[in-house]
Chains A and B, each alone.
Chain A
Amino acid sequence: MSATAIIVGVILPPVTFVVFVAAMLSRFWTWKKLPQPGMTLFPTSPKGKTAGVLKETLLFPSLFKSDRFLWAISWLFHAMLVLIIIGHFRVVTDFPWLWGALNIDADTMSTVVGGAAGVMILLMLVLLIGRRFVTTRVREISSPGDYFAVFLLLAIVITGNGMRLAGHFDLAASRQYFASLVMLQWPMVPENGWFLAHLFLAQVLLIYMPFSKIMHFGGVFFTQAAIKRS
């Protein structure tokens, strides 16, 4: 194996895993245990509160009310992201019962849905980045960190699409690689440029995430719950 493959595929993954899990747990634990007195307030009934928080998390109604364009691109971006994350489960496991129930071949599903999601999320990212550059009220509050987050995602999406679209990629080899990683055995890292770049960038994202604004995916439960307190 090349040195790159060993660094990216063997040495980095356990580091990523430890940093990601520890930092995420510590973040959630801290948020959870902090006191919340009642300065922030936005009364609705307790029933409305849980439903309201869920609705905000799944459908972004507040954003819909404010900015339809941003709502559309960010909702599609997040929806595609969820699809893609689910798709990545196939790297370590498979759902034959699901393909059976849908009466569809897993690889066809992967090509059609996964391929479409990969292209769609690329498009949404380009629009989100464009908006950040073009819209004054967004550009004036953006720091290098805000650009870094979207460009990192863009790079991950491009390399991910590259694996699928640019030449042949051996899915079986990558499944074997991840299986070895999970079993704590010495893995055979697939020597594919797209794959190694994708794997590296994804790990950068996982390490960066707990320390960044990407935590809004977990924080939103705390903040929405606070303003929807009964």
Chain B
Amino acid sequence: MTLPDAEQLFSSLVDQIKPLVTPDTAIVGIHSGGVWLMERLLSLLDADVVHGTLDVSFYRDDFASRGLHAETKPSQIAFDVNDRNILLIDDVFYTGRTIRAAMNELFDYGRPASISLAVLVNRGGRELPISPQISAAEIPLPPEQNLQLQRDDNGRFTLKLERADV
């Protein structure tokens, strides 16, 4: 199948996010793809926006079966989460389990006013009552396929489809 151009999707994502950013907004990218998207997004916004990053390794629900990811990154939430409107950013939305883990982690920093979710691609297949408020594309994919965001040396995005090791 032909995948859409990731750069075009990113522009569309930025257009959808921009009107929602208020002074109470904090943007939080999820490692790794979500952080890449957030970094580019921040450079395109008119004002400085409070932001942070999450690595949900310590909150995943498959720790018992898969162990700790070999490359964990520190989560960096340097702002006061209490009463913030948090906009979570991730590259691909699938089962919703990563987002559950991210929400659990956020609540250990404080009680946000709200949390919403923006993703580049919603590939369908959610297993929890969680769904993105914003997605630049909906591309239904079977479980045997794995959709990944990639970033080249110039910071440009591409999407790549791989066989998933199910």
A and B: bona fide binding partners: no
Chain A residues near B (Cβ < 8 Å)? none
